[in-house]
Amino acid sequence: MTRVAQLAQQQLTLSNVRATQERLQEAQIQISTGQKSRSYAGIFKDATRLVSLEASQARIKQFVENNTIISDRLERTDGAVSNIFDALTELRKTLIQATSDSSSGEVRLTEIANNLLSSVTGQLNTKENGRFLFAGSMTTTQPVTVPVPDPTTFGVPEANYYNGDSVALSARIDEATTITYGVTGDRAGFQDAIAALKAAIQAGTTNDRGLMETALTLTNSALQTVAGYRAEIGSDLQTIDRANSNNNDLLTFLEGSITDIESVDVPETVAKMSTDQTVLQASFLTLARITNLTLLDFLR
């Protein structure tokens, strides 16, 4: 007996076997990794879109990270401004007592004002991760000289204590929004505050009632202005919070889109794998029959 040479049929069947084996191997990798492909080549139809989505994702993540840092700075700044407001409130109460006829000699105005001045300057020299928060763009420079120098004229505000600049910091918080933020230590409210404290110290030393009245007027002005700074900071925090909420929503959408492109549908892949296994078994049976086919079988 002589076997019939079915070379073309064998080659076609072997080709189908190899293709099926490759699909099975790829399916096994997809199921184990959860990814459609280990490279962009495996998802070439969506590769350009995937690269664009990933670039957007990285950019939005950077916005979120930067915004979190800025929010931390603003919250620390707000805490310092709040403490300054409290110090001014204490100064106002002390000055009211000092200017009252019934208690003018009993108030330790100089001592109290000196302590409050130390508190205010300490708050204006607040740092966050090595950055001075009230120095404008000169974040490595201590904004307030300690001890605070005397003014040219007691009761007249000036910024002779300040070493920073008046540059407002800015940041891009999302794809379309840039904000300026922060409070510099040379703002009018802080000049009034320090002028009031220096005047109170001098008035307490010299028992100058007129200078006490001037210090009280400056304190009232500083309280109103500093309260405005807190409102400004609060508004910036709300703006950043809204931006980060939108950024996080966008990240959720981008992550879902990337997952749709990259991730494999495991149940579907398992079903296809089962089908390919059946096809492979059938191909092996066909190949075995072709290989064993004899001339007698062919003639029959």
Please tell me whether residues 14 and 133 are part of one structural domain: no
Do 278 and 132 fall within a single domain?
Answer: no
- The answer to whether residues 252 and 273 belong to one domain is no
pLDDT for 174-211, tens place per residue? Answer: 999 999 999 999 999 999 999 999 999 999 999 999 99
Indicate whether 41 belongs to any domain: no
**How far, in Å, CA of 127 to CA of 141, rounded?**
10
Is 205 contained in some domain? yes
Q: Does residue 105 share a domain with residue 186?
A: yes
Query: Are 217 and 269 within one domain?
Result: no
**Are 145 and 20 part of one and the same domain?**
no
pTM of the model: 0.76
Q: Are 158 and 139 in contact, with CB atoms under 8 Å apart?
A: no
The DSSP symbol for 177 reads: -
Strand, coil or helix: 265: coil
Residue for token pair 């000169």? 138
CB-CB contact of 190 with 196 (8 Å)? no
In contact, 185 and 143? CB cutoff 8 Å: yes
| Average pLDDT, consecutive stretches of 10 residues, N- to C-terminus, the chain (300 residues) | 51 62 56 55 69 93 97 98 98 94 71 98 96 97 98 98 96 96 97 98 95 98 98 97 97 90 59 61 61 52
126: domain range?
Answer: 48-257
User: Taking the CA atoms of the chain, what radius of gyration do you get in angstroms?
Assistant: 38
In a domain, 1, yes or no: no
Is the same domain home to 55 and 162? yes
Same domain, 287 and 191: no
Of 242, 257, 272, the last residue of a domain is 257
